[in-house]
Copies of this chain bind each other. A is one copy, B any other.
Amino acid sequence: MTDRTYRVTDIVGTSQQSVDAAIKNGIKRASQTLRNLDWFEITEVRGHLVDGEIDHYQVGMKVGFRLEDAD
């Protein structure tokens, strides 16, 4: 097994439902364009308020994925 290298990208997932849904939405979108996703780490949880209520959640995440070998 060769020594792997990973790249880490920062994304912000959002949801009108919950923190958990915002995490899942962000990961789902990331998996549409990145292969070999390996881990995520939450870096911040924020939200937008409208009329005194939570309009949507914003969850910042680092997402790590394995780089394939360049030929």
Residues 38-62 of A, flagged 1 when their CB comes within 8 A of B and 0 if not, give 1111101111110011101000101
How far in angstroms is the closest Cβ of chain B from A8? 4
Known A-B contacts A10-B7, A13-B5, A19-B19; the reply to A48 vs B39 at CB < 8 A is: yes
| Chain A residues within CB distance 8 Å of chain B | 3-16, 18-33, 37-42, 44-49, 52-54, 56, 60, 62-64, 67, 70
Choose one: B19, B27, B52; the contact of A52 (CB below 8 Å): B27
Q: Are A12 and B19 in contact (CB under 8 A)?
A: no
Task: Compute how far the CA of A19 lies from the CA of B59 in the bound complex, rounded to whole angstroms.
Answer: 13
A19-B19, A39-B47, A41-B44 known; A27 vs B10 contact (CB < 8 Å): no
